[in-house]
Amino acid sequence: MQLPSALLEQAVNEFSKLPGIGKKTALRLVLHLLKQEPEKVEAFGAALLRMRKDTHICQRCYNISDSLLCSICSNPMRKQELICVVESIRDVIAIESTQQYNGTYHVLGGIISPLDGVGPDQLYIEPLVKRVQEDGIQELIFALNPTIQGDTTIYYIQKKIQPSTVKVTTIARGIAFGGELEYADEMTLARSLQHRMPVENLKV
C-alpha cells in the first residue's frame, strides 16, 4: 500500500501492531482520526497513556485496579473469605458481568503449560497459597478453562494448599445453556452424565 504521507504511514503502522488489526483496517481508523479535532486525538492518546501508567495491579488479587487494593478487594460488602481463581483479568470482567458472584478473585496471570514454557513460578500461585493459609479463606472456586492445562493448574494448587480445611470447587462443566446434545463432544456428554445433578438445581 502506497501512502502519500510518511506521518500517515507511521500512524497506520502503529495501529496495525494491535492484535487483529491489519493495514487496511488501520488505514480506515487513521483516516477517521484525521477527520477529528486535534483535541479529540490528543484525548485518545492521553486516555491510553494514563491507563497504561496509572493503573495498578491489586496487591491482594492481582486484578487491574486504580489503587493499590482493587475495588473488589476493598469492598466490605463482598465476601472476602470466598476466592474465585481465574487465569486473567478478562475472566474477572466476564464473571463480574454475570452480576451473580459476591466473593473476591485471584488472578493467576496464566495457567501452568509446560509446552509454552509456563511453570508455576511464573504465576501468582505463591500469593494465593499465602492468602489461603493466612486470610481465613473458606472456599476456593476454580474458574479456569476446562483444558488439560487448567486441570493441571487446579491439581497443582490443590496439592500446594494441603493440609487445609478450605473447600475447593470448580465451576460446573456440562452442556452449555441453549446448546444441543447431538453436537456436544463425547467428553463433555460423558462427564455431564457422570456429574448429573438434581433437577431442583435448574430453578434459578
Which residues bind to its own copies, rule: CB under 8 A? 1-8, 10-11, 13-14, 17-21, 25, 27-34, 36, 38, 41-55, 63-66, 70-72, 89-90, 92-93, 96-97, 99
Q: Is 166 helix (H, G, I), strand (E, B) or coil?
A: coil
What whole-number distance in Å separates Cα of residue 138 and Cα of residue 99?
Answer: 21
For its own copies, the closer of residues 96 and 190 by Cβ is: 96
For its own copies, the closer of residues 51 and 190 by Cβ is: 51
The neighbour count for residue 145, using CB atoms within 10 Å, is 13
CB of 70 to its own copies, least distance (A): 6
What whole-number distance in Å separates Cα of residue 178 and Cα of residue 170?
Answer: 21
For its own copies, the closer of residues 103 and 154 by Cβ is: 103
CB of 82 to its own copies, least distance (A): 17
CB 103 within 8 A of CB 83: yes
Q: For the CA atoms of the chain, what is the radius of gyration?
A: 22
CB of 90 to its own copies, least distance (A): 6
- β-strand pairing of 79-86 with 139-142: parallel
For its own copies, the closer of residues 35 and 159 by Cβ is: 35
CB of 163 to its own copies, least distance (A): 33
